[in-house]
Structure 1
């Protein structure tokens, strides 16, 4: 597995806390397309089929809390 970038981890952490992509954009001032790209990259790196699976895998690997 490739190492996750800080933004990917931040977005996964926010998703784990129930934040939507729109919430993430408002809370971080990061453009929505960049958030989408970070989440897509994280899902690919974690070999997850969707965001929920990516959050689950990241949590199991102790990458997010």
Structure 2
């Protein structure tokens, strides 16, 4: 089931992955978006689960490979 999502990523998950792919840390994303840190963490966790990734870097790689982020 490699590179197949369990469920579609929501806009916050895509935004967080996209910003992280550009080198932003969780703290940077919180500051830049005014979204609470716990929601950012939850978005990363949900994205990793949906993309069946073990960490954020792998989630970014899979999302990019699937053309969900650039």
TM range (shorter): over 0.9
Separation (CA, whole Å) in 2 of partners of 1:61 and 1:11:
16
Moved over 2 A (4+): none
RMSD of aligned alpha carbons: 0.3
What corresponds to 1:59 in structure 2?
Answer: 64
Structure with the largest fraction of helix = 1
Structure 2 gap ranges (5+): none
Separation (CA, whole Å) in 2 of partners of 1:43 and 1:14:
15
Q: TM-score, normalised by structure 2?
A: 0.92
Q: TM-score, normalised by structure 1?
A: 0.99
Counting matched residue pairs gives 65
What corresponds to 1:21 in structure 2?
Answer: 26
